[in-house]
């Protein structure tokens, strides 16, 4: 779980949080989840794909949004992070991000290490709304 604060500038002309702001919210949750805590992910992970399903509009308010995040589909050089964006306890969006580990020195994907796999398995879970 991670809380993210909306910015007034995240709203668009329709007076709700713009769809592009969600990518920033997801990034904040993902970085807090493991990139801030496990240097190997921060030193060599890129984003291959995002998918977001918007379920209801979010109107700016000072309370943070809650991001529930979990990992699955751990493969040789990639994994998927899933999210639920909760606005005052109600799911406003569901999303996923495919992350690929990369060897930047050789500019190609690299296999996940055993340690990285163990870290990712620690985040294998399901959303709170499914429990």
- pLDDT tens digits, residue range 48-85? 999 999 999 999 999 999 999 999 989 999 999 999 99
Under a CB-based contact definition with an 8 Å cutoff, are residues 1 and 68 in contact?
Answer: yes
pLDDT above 70: residue 39: no
**Mean pLDDT confidence for 4-29:** 92
Residue with tokens 């589909």: 73
- Which burial class, exposed, middle or buried, applies to 90 when counting CB atoms under 10 A from its CB (0-12, 13-18, 19+)? exposed
pLDDT above 70: residue 16: yes
Residue 41 lies in domain: 2-130
What's residue 131's pLDDT?
42
Domain count for the chain, please give it. Answer: 1
Rounded Cα gap, residues 31 and 71, in angstroms = 13
Under a CB-based contact definition with an 8 Å cutoff, are residues 95 and 85 in contact?
Answer: yes
CATH of the domain at 122: 3.10.129.10
pLDDT interval class at 128 (50, 70, 90) = low
């Amino acid at each position: 779980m991670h809380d993210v604060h909306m910015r007034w500038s995240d709203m668009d002309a329709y007076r709700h949080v713009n769809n592009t702001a969600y990518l920033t919210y997801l990034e904040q949750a993902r970085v807090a989840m493991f990139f801030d805590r496990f240097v190997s992910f921060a030193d060599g992970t890129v984003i291959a794909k995002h998918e977001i399903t918007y379920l209801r509009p979010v109107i700016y308010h000072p309370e943070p949004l809650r991001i529930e995040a979990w990992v699955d589909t751990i493969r040789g050089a990639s994994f998927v992070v899933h999210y639920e964006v909760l606005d005052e306890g109600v799911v406003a969006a569901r999303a996923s991000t495919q992350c690929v580990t990369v060897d930047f020195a050789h500019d190609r994907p690299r296999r996940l290490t055993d340690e990285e796999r163990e870290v990712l398995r620690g985040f294998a879970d399901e959303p709170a709304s499914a429990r």
